[in-house]
Structure 1
Amino acid sequence: MAFAILFPGQGAQFRGMGADVFDRYPGLTQFACDLLGYDLPALCRDDPGEVLSRTEYTQPALYTVNALRMFEREHREERRADYYLGHSLGEYNALLAAGVLDFETGLRLVKRRGELMAAASGGGMTAVMDVPAPRLREILAEDGVEDVDVAGFNTDTQIVVAAPAEVLRAAHEAFTRRDVRFAPLRVSAPFHSRYMEPARAAFENYLREFTFREPATPVIANVTGRPYGKGDVVRLLSEQLVEPVRWTDAVRHLLALDPGTECEEVGGRSLLRMVQKIRRSADRTPLRETRT
């Protein structure tokens, strides 16, 4: 039976995160502080002014905590993964775990990624429940709401959309008129959409400054829902900024490879709940919910 490890992305951060691992890895923690230019454990512990919710701080903080938890898991010599998956930012931790990049490279990348994404503004994202993508597009077309991008396929019953602020407000009105359930996300820009193209172009140039190894363990990509191939890193990580997170496709591919695949999420359960929803109709095998 195959075994997959999942890494959460932005949205999984919380005040106090990392308290279980910072002290056990003082060298790596201090290295991260020096590279980032601020006291990361103090930021996570105190979250002054809710700084931790700001993209440029969220991304390197969550990447570092995910990484330390993964190192702790490896130190305990727990079961090795057959596959790695990460949701959006979490894909960097999946690539780290698979040996594609080292801790420093990953931290430099997510620091720059966070800065570029934080610089984008004027829009947002909304989770829409229980409406398939074709019907969602019909609803928006019926009300003349254009320029909304699908930014994520989290499960069969939850889709994320992104758009400029005024367009998103019109979309919310259309949803309300039809009793469609939706929840605006606490983000500052329309991530994973066409509106991130300037950030994508700048980030692609930055990515080309680094050298990447081929995965020692398969990593299933957000952009394609399929494993990384040879030489895919620059393309897939840059495209991730403008393409939807195809989490549903990624999980379906994983389960097609082995329907009985067990999954473990690093640091939480939100991704496990998504996996359970995706597989529920075909496979009632419970996932092992392990908090590391």
Structure 2
Amino acid sequence: MATTAIFRRLARPCRGRAASTAVRPRAAVFFPGQGSQAPGMLAPWAAAHPQATRDVVDAISRALDDAALVRLLTDGGADADMQRTSNAQPAILATSVLIARVLAQEHGVAVARSHFDYVLGHSLGEITGFVAAGVLTLEDGLRVVRRRGQAMEAAVAAWYAGRGLAAPAAGAAPPHELGMAALVVPRDRLEPVMTAISRFQQAEFLAMLPAPTAPPVDRVVELANINSSAQVVLSGTRAGIAHLAGELGLRAVRLNVAAPFHSSVLLPAAQDLFDVVAVSGPDAVPFAEYAPAATGVQIVSNTTARPFASTADIRQSIVDGCTLPVNWYGSIRHLVDACGVTRFLAIGPGRATATLVAREVGAAADVVFAADPAGLAAAAAALRVAS
């Protein structure tokens, strides 16, 4: 994604602006991506909301037939098992949908036009948003992210094998280990940092043209996320991330993920997902028709930072999301600056994504957190008070 294109998009007006009601502010609900997973993450919900939790657990069983994952979610277990991408992604999606259901069933706050104009999610959270908005059922959403996680694991294993490298052992940190790291960007420095990253990637690409070969380990690095005006995320090897962070003079903070999401390393995963999002075929997952004009709720794309236009675009986004960067900053700024959103509800485990949004929007919008049973009633009350 060209840097200049990102900043041009921020200035465009809100197209197809959702019609908000007269009794509440314009609002958006969003869901987190990978990184907030933990063994036993459904246990507090089972204690506080047993029936809603049983319904979600039953959906996991029907969709995935994975008793080990259910035990990991409800009883706990080894953290290494939960860190596996094929477990972490359905775990976070299921927990986020559970929270959304409890909010709707017990507090009357639903992902519908009565409360929200826009739905979005960070990376994996975008697929959670498809479930919350009714484009996918919970069971089909779980099938999609399980297949997505498995395909990503296979792509990472193939990358190591193709280079004759051993996959890192737990607790090890060799230079070739793949992953992600956040860079802390100084105030008002996002655009020059983005320009520098773009120039680095262009130079590396041009250096390979005379004789295409795999880049050395300390050059495997790509832009993965533009999270806010103060944070971007790189995907690649430890050595590659350290090299580029050093050139930029920025501090890199390692993220709690097991793959270099939103990078070319995951191209085989993107190719695998074509069968899942196809209109027909043995592996195809059904999608409901996306009709924002009828529902009054628009889903915002991670990659374009604009609402999706069609179901076909949503299907394609599941493929593209493996390798293209997340423009979260562009999405949030567009909703606030062009669409007039003044309220955000963060639904899902953990608070990292919600904290990013709160810091980005400042006093321009309220951000309400719905992350744990203890805070749910307060979140619902805050939404009602702000109406």
TM (norm. structure 2) is 0.68
Q: Deviations over 1:93-126 (max 9, x none)?
A: 1111111111111111111011111212242222
Aligned position for 1:125: 180
Contact map agreement 2:335 2:341 (CA 8 A) in 1: no
Q: Helix, strand or coil: the match of 1:75? A: helix
The aligned counterpart of 1:18 is 42
Change (3 A) 1:221 1:171: same
Between the aligned partners of 1:28 and 1:226, the Cα distance in structure 2 is 30
- 1:155 partnered with 2:228: yes
How far does residue 139 in structure 1 lie from its aligned partner after superposition?
Answer: 6.7
User: Would you identify which runs of 4 or more consecutive aligned residues in structure 1 move more than 6 Å?
Assistant: 139-145
Q: Does 1:210 align with 2:285?
A: yes
Matched, 1:262 2:351: no
Note the residue ranges of structure 2 that are not aligned, 5 or more in a row: 1-24, 161-177, 208-217, 279-283, 377-387
> What is the identity, as a one-letter code, of the residue corresponding to 1:134?
T
Cα distance in 1, alignment partners of residues 258 and 38 from structure 2: 17
Over aligned residues, Cα RMSD in angstroms?
2.5
Unmatched 5+ residue regions in structure 1? none
**Equivalenced residues, count:** 287
Q: 1:61-111 CA deviation, whole Å, 9 max, x = no partner? A: 111111111111111212632211111111111111111111111111111
Structure 2: distance between partners of 1:175 and 1:141: 16
**In the alignment, structure 1 residue 99 sits paired with structure 2 residue 134:** yes
Measured after TM superposition, the shift of residue 15 of structure 1 is 3.0
Match of 1:228 among 308, 327, 331: 308
Contact 2:27 2:117 in 1 (8 A): yes
1:154·1:274 contact (CA, 8 Å) conserved in 2? yes
Distance 1:48 1:181 in 2: 30
Q: Alpha carbons of 1:40 and 1:195: their partners in 2 closer, same or farther (altered >3 Å)?
A: closer
Cα distance in 2 for residues equivalent to 1:260 and 1:101 = 25
Q: Percent identity?
A: 28
Q: Is the 8 A contact 1:19 1:41 kept in 2?
A: no
Q: CA deviation at 1:173?
A: 3.8
1:90 matched to 2:149? The reply is no
Q: Return 202-211 or 140-149, whichever deviates more.
A: 140-149
Q: Which residue of 2 aligns with 1:31?
A: 59
- Structure 2 letter corresponding to 1:59: Q
CA deviations 1:150-183 (Å, max 9, x no partner) are: 11111112111112x3xx4044045347642111
Report deviation, 1:186.
3.3
Cα displacement string for residues 4-47 of structure 1 (whole angstroms, at most 9, x for unaligned residues): 11111110112331224343232431231243222444202312
Match of 2:251 among 165, 181, 184: 181
* Structure 2 partner of 1:245: 326
| 1:7 lines up with 2:31 in the alignment | yes
1:277 corresponds, among 340, 356, 359, to 359
1:61-80 to structure 2, matched below 5 A, reads 61-76=91-106, 77-78=108-109, 80=115
- Matched position secondary structure for 2:67: coil
Instruction: Tell me if the contact between 2:303 and 2:326 (Cα under 8 Å) persists in the aligned partners.
Output: yes
**What residue number does 2:89 align with?**
59
The question of whether the paired residues in 2 share the 8 Å contact of 1:223 and 1:243 is answered with yes
Greater CA drift, 211-220 or 226-235: 211-220
Matched residue type, 2:230: T
Please give the alpha-carbon distance, in whole angstroms, between the structure 1 residues aligned to 2:240 and 2:91: 34
1:114 to 139, 142, 149: 149
CA distance in 2 between partners of 1:134 and 1:153 (Å): 12
Q: CA deviation at 1:258?
A: 3.8
Which residue of 80, 88, 98 maps to 1:50? 80
- Aligned residue in 1 for 2:20: none
TM (normalized to structure 1)? Answer: 0.88
| Structure 2 SS opposite 1:120 | helix
Structure 1 range deviating more: 267-276 or 215-224: 267-276
- Alpha-carbon spacing, 1:238–1:139, altered in 2? closer, same or farther (3 Å): closer
**3-state SS of paired residue (1:17):** coil
Mark the CA change 1:161 to 1:96 in structure 2 (over 3 Å): closer, same or farther. Answer: same
Once the two structures are overlaid, the 10-residue window that deviates more, 36-45 or 262-271, is 36-45
